[in-house]
Structure 1
């Protein structure tokens, strides 16, 4: 049996999904607004994703064995979870290969809602995983002894290209799906139209640096993923929440009093 215990945090995964902007401007990313009833990040705008389930670890172990360890079981499980959660929450079949159409993706999403696991869906539709479609981007673990549910989240990038596909909110964990440029999301937050937790804001600032998915992928491949554990720094007189200086982020600190909590 695969050991799925994670004593340091709840394992989670999310995909930052790019598409070309219809107006030819900065690339857009897909965001979702979580239901206000959710314990974690209720009412906040985030990227689609969720926790890694035991079935994801089982499939991840199989993938690792099939690739002779080219991808570690734990990493494979997170990538599986990212693919599963994306299909579950948005209806998009990313990281998958096979006869994928709007109709089969919708049917697979409905089956996933029933089974809760990706492996039976792959078998039923004759699909395979194509994890080369997703690129490791970041890992955030905001440890806090005062927060009962702390997620250790791995972020990935994927590209839809033209993005001419239908998306639909699941209406359970999330209440809204929308496309926006990274800077557009930051502007929406400044106007009070959406709320952002600290990791999402920092990731949007990083994403706003890129004029294309290719630029984002190139930086992701050039900077090794490090686990970001925000720290409180009081050296300036006012408590600041800080992150690593060398992880690719243009903004690495924020006044603690302005940080939105999940």
Structure 2
């Protein structure tokens, strides 16, 4: 977490590092793959009541473990990137009960026990030690990074998105009863259609990511595109050249839709 100061000396918004995972699972009968989404509690300051992917802020303990991972990687990964991937793994276990990005003796019972321990320790490292698990960051694929800077709000989230694959859909998930009110599996296309019907609400980054995810018929297709397009920080900009204010993003970052009329945008 950082608190930047503008050149004028006035304090800018608090910039919060965050991470989230788009969790794929196979869908029977060859239909579009599904992704796990959660509806955030309306009481939360950021994206309250919105449907999002599981995730949250990067904690100091994530950076501590990330430093260890980076030092052992021989330069293959930075502390900052490792910390974000660790946060995504930790938040997924905490919010959904799913164990991703880890190896060892993992089953449903141990996953429940690890989740219960995580709620007490609020750090992943003690859980890894207790269950003799190891990180396997090769299971996590960097997909995107969104940093919607806004000087008018007290805090902004610099969020990195990752992809992971469960393969089979035979898994149990449950809400954490703290930040989320509902977990559900849906294809990207169905999520967008549900939003159009008013059944769920989507903030601007989630909508754009769902549109991109709807391009893919499988996890492998999504991962291939993510690996082919280097992750660049997406900071939406307001463009008034057409006469109507539009919120726009990079045109070469893999997104099929790169703008939306500003007065229609839902923000966190």
Q: CA deviation at 1:6?
A: 5.9
Structure 2 residue aligned with 1:64 = 70
Distance in 1, matches of 2:60 and 2:3, equals 11
Distance in 1, matches of 2:159 and 2:49, equals 19
Structure 1 residue aligned with 2:189 = 183
Structure 1 residue aligned with 2:11 = none
Structure 2 residue aligned with 1:203 = 209
Structure 1 residue aligned with 2:167 = 161
Q: CA deviation at 1:111?
A: 0.1
Instruction: Report the 3-state secondary structure (helix = DSSP H, G, I; strand = E; otherwise coil) of the residue aligned with 1:132.
Output: helix
Structure 2 residue aligned with 1:234 = 240
> Are 2:180 and 1:174 aligned?
yes
> Are 2:124 and 1:121 aligned?
no
Which residue, 250, 256, 260 being the options, matches 1:250? 256
Structure 2 residue aligned with 1:41 = 47
- Give the structure-1-normalised TM-score: 0.97
Q: Where does structure 2 lack aligned partners over 5 or more consecutive residues?
A: 5-13
Q: Where does structure 1 lack aligned partners over 5 or more consecutive residues?
A: none
Q: What is the CA deviation profile of residues 53-88 of structure 1, one whole-angstrom value per residue up to 9, with x for unaligned ones?
A: 000000000000011221000000000000000000
Distance in 2, matches of 1:225 and 1:173, equals 28
Q: CA deviation at 1:206?
A: 0.1
Contact 2:70–2:79 (CA under 8 A) maintained in structure 1: yes
Instruction: Report the 3-state secondary structure (helix = DSSP H, G, I; strand = E; otherwise coil) of the residue aligned with 1:124.
Output: helix
Q: What is the CA deviation profile of residues 157-178 of structure 1, one whole-angstrom value per residue up to 9, with x for unaligned ones?
A: 0000012110001111000000
Distance in 1, matches of 2:31 and 2:253, equals 26
Distance in 2, matches of 1:90 and 1:147, equals 29
Contact 2:2–2:15 (CA under 8 A) maintained in structure 1: no
Structure 2 residue aligned with 1:24 = 30
Contact 2:54–2:96 (CA under 8 A) maintained in structure 1: yes
Distance in 2, matches of 1:220 and 1:261, equals 25
Alignment of 1:65-104 (within 5 A): 65-104=71-110
Runs of 4+, deviation exceeding 3 Å: 4-8
Structure 2 residue aligned with 1:111 = 117
Distance in 2, matches of 1:148 and 1:211, equals 39
Query: May I ask how many residue pairs the two structures share in their alignment?
Result: 259
Q: CA deviation at 1:42?
A: 0.1
Q: CA deviation at 1:5?
A: 3.6
Contact 1:15–1:48 (CA under 8 A) maintained in structure 2: yes
Distance in 1, matches of 2:18 and 2:29, equals 33
- Give the structure-2-normalised TM-score: 0.95
Contact 1:96–1:131 (CA under 8 A) maintained in structure 2: yes
Instruction: Report the 3-state secondary structure (helix = DSSP H, G, I; strand = E; otherwise coil) of the residue aligned with 1:150.
Output: strand
Instruction: Report the 3-state secondary structure (helix = DSSP H, G, I; strand = E; otherwise coil) of the residue aligned with 1:164.
Output: coil
- RMSD of Structure 2 on Structure 1 (CA): 0.9
